[in-house]
Chains A and B, each alone.
Chain A
Amino acid sequence: MALPYSFKSAFQSLCREKWINALSIFTVASSLLIITLISLFLYNIDIAAKGLPERFSMVAYLKDNLTKEQTQEIISSLDRKNEIVHLKYISKDEAMQELKQALTESIALLEGLEENPLTPSIEIRLQEEIVKSAYVKRLAEEIKKIPGIDNVYYGEEIAETVYLLKRSVQNMSMIIFVSVTSGIVFVIYSSVNILFYRRRSEIEIIALLGATGGFIRTPFIIEGGFIGFAGGILGALGALAFYFGITYNISAIMPMLGALIFPIEILFLLPVAGSILGITGSIIAVGRLRL
């Protein structure tokens, strides 16, 4: 029965202390917007990083003058490795064709050649999960030991970059998430503290009438939750405005930004996250107060 009173009291306070509350909502909205934009950036980097292993390949160069059977034997032994998902044999002629295509403007360089100096090779695609430098390096060493293989080339830097990028994205997300969410909790904690002290005499009267701690604290928890919720909605609207701003305006100048992916779930997640943080901040605030 006390709950309708708690809601009424919370919303009366929200209206009465509109400047403190508006400022808190705006601060929470800005913080959530910062989290969202950074998460959006990291999310897109993560997607891009996920795409890199797909494009990552290793090339095993074969010795010259191998027989068809020897080549087939090499392909079979590579095929038996679980880490390899796709193999493509490139003959000397195919290699020359690819080179000619790549050197369209400098094709004259190849005209003087009497014989094809390129060696046949096998293009190897690996499982995405194992594209980590240490793993790829070990695999390359193993492949090199297969008889008939002359050398193995792989983009060591790409593998390293993918791995580092993924780890950096995860670490950065964690640091930003922890610091900004702590900031939001602190803002709501401080606001609820201020609101509590501004209503101190009112609370003393209610306590003298026999109100329990729960009765006194509940309106503040509702108020904190509402500040977080409203901040979440504002933050979501801000993120949406930012996304459409980029899609329709900035991408004309910077086309790469036009490819940004915006997970629509953010619009629902932000008010929920805001409410949870708001309730957390206010519970900490009222829990520490002496009644």
Chain B
Amino acid sequence: MITFQNVSKYYESETILRNISFSAQKGEMLFITGPTGAGKSTLLKLLYLSEYPDEGDIVIGDFHLASLKPSWIPLLRRNIGVVFQDFKLINNLSVFDNVALALRVKGRSERDIKDAVFDALKKVHLRQKANSYPRKLSGGEMQRAAIARAIVSEPLFILADEPTGNLDSNTTVDIMRLFLDINIQGTTILIATHNRELFRHSGKRVLRLDRGVMTEEGGG
């Protein structure tokens, strides 16, 4: 489903990612770990096309990112769910509208949107907060709203960049359970985190990045 083929990324003279090659299969849950500044976020940015590789190619399904036309970028992004450490919710939109936005960009009808959004909010246990605004939510609730937005369009895979970085330990456990539930239902998930507790007992594959070089750690 996702294949990195000898991907390198440089910022000026600094090497951020060096000759990265790995694959993630459909339905897999994969952790990318490493210290701050190791290149985890950059690797995810390459997947959601916020950055472009300087060398190598990334293959997502049938898309080769090295030769992707710029006009196809929105199309590809619609099939990727992204969850950020800082949630990236739009403050002046309700939880419902934040989640609905992922479907509105696809041009879905309002009736379909309503059903799908309430379904997604139910999955993340946030249905009762549909009309609330992000400022009125706790950190855990905001992240659950962001996860609902990521899953509502039934993407090919979900990318999570330090999804529990701003959360307390109890909420972290809740959010990780949520990711495991989503993964069990068949969605591929890549989680970038420096917090080893998240995958220690998960039994999932772990890739370690250090100074731009990737090594495989194996299951926790």
A residues in contact (CB < 8 Å) with B: 1-2, 4-5, 12, 16, 202, 205-212, 215
Q: Can you list 16 residue pairs at the A/B interface with Cβ under 8 Å?
A: A1-B104, A1-B108, A1-B110, A2-B104, A2-B107, A12-B92, A202-B90, A206-B90, A207-B77, A208-B48, A209-B102, A210-B76, A210-B77, A210-B79, A210-B105, A212-B74
Are B77 and A209 interface neighbours, CB within 8 A? yes
User: Which of B78, B79, B101 has the most C-beta atoms of chain A within 10 angstroms of its own C-beta?
Assistant: B101
A200–chain B nearest beta-carbon distance, Å: 12
A4 to B97, CA, bound (A): 13
**Residue B67 CB within 8 A of the other chain:** no
Convert B34-74 into 0s and 1s, putting 1 for each residue whose CB lies closer than 8 angstroms to a CB of A.
Answer: 00000000000000101000000000000000000000001
A154 to B130, CA, bound (A): 85
User: Which of B76, B92, B104 has the most C-beta atoms of chain A within 10 angstroms of its own C-beta?
Assistant: B104
Instruction: Name B's interface SS.
Output: loop
Are B105 and A205 interface neighbours, CB within 8 A? no
Are B110 and A4 interface neighbours, CB within 8 A? yes
A151–chain B nearest beta-carbon distance, Å: 80
B214–chain A nearest beta-carbon distance, Å: 24
Residues of A within 8 A of B101 (CB): 205-206, 209
Residues of B within 8 A of A215 (CB): 105
Residues of A within 8 A of B89 (CB): 205
Residues of A within 8 A of B109 (CB): 1
A208 to B90, CA, bound (A): 13
**Residue B173 CB within 8 A of the other chain:** no
The 8 A-B pairs of least Cβ separation, nearest first, read A210-B78, A210-B77, A211-B105, A210-B74, A1-B107, A212-B74, A5-B104, A209-B102
A209 to B106, CA, bound (A): 9
Residues of A within 8 A of B80 (CB): 210
A16 to B76, CA, bound (A): 32
A12 to B92, CA, bound (A): 9
A205 to B91, CA, bound (A): 11
B157–chain A nearest beta-carbon distance, Å: 14
Residues of A within 8 A of B88 (CB): 205, 208
Convert B84-101 into 0s and 1s, putting 1 for each residue whose CB lies closer than 8 angstroms to a CB of A.
Answer: 000011101000000001
Residues of B within 8 A of A1 (CB): 104, 107-110
**Residue B184 CB within 8 A of the other chain:** no
Select from chain B the residue with minimum beta-carbon distance to A13.
Answer: B92
Select from chain A the residue with minimum beta-carbon distance to B102.
Answer: A209
B45–chain A nearest beta-carbon distance, Å: 10
A12 to B104, CA, bound (A): 16
Contact of A208 among B77, B92, B104, B108 (CB under 8 A): B77
Are A208 and B50 interface neighbours, CB within 8 A? yes
**Residue B142 CB within 8 A of the other chain:** no
A17–chain B nearest beta-carbon distance, Å: 11
Contact of A16 among B50, B75, B92 (CB under 8 A): B92
Select from chain A the residue with minimum beta-carbon distance to B79.
Answer: A210
A206 to B75, CA, bound (A): 13
**Residue B151 CB within 8 A of the other chain:** no
**Residue B82 CB within 8 A of the other chain:** yes
Are A205 and B90 interface neighbours, CB within 8 A? yes
B106–chain A nearest beta-carbon distance, Å: 7
A11–chain B nearest beta-carbon distance, Å: 12
Residues of A within 8 A of B76 (CB): 210
Select from chain B the residue with minimum beta-carbon distance to A4.
Answer: B110
A211 to B153, CA, bound (A): 13
B24–chain A nearest beta-carbon distance, Å: 20
A43 to B115, CA, bound (A): 59
Convert B116-158 into 0s and 1s, putting 1 for each residue whose CB lies closer than 8 angstroms to a CB of A.
Answer: 0000000000000000000000000000000001000000000
A209-B149, A215-B105 given; name 11 further pairs at CB < 8 Å: A2-B107, A4-B110, A205-B90, A206-B101, A206-B105, A207-B77, A208-B48, A208-B88, A209-B101, A210-B79, A210-B102
Residues of B within 8 A of A205 (CB): 88-90, 101
Are A209 and B90 interface neighbours, CB within 8 A? no
Residues of B within 8 A of A4 (CB): 110
B9–chain A nearest beta-carbon distance, Å: 19
Are A210 and B50 interface neighbours, CB within 8 A? no
A16 to B108, CA, bound (A): 26
A271 to B200, CA, bound (A): 65
Residues of B within 8 A of A212 (CB): 74, 105
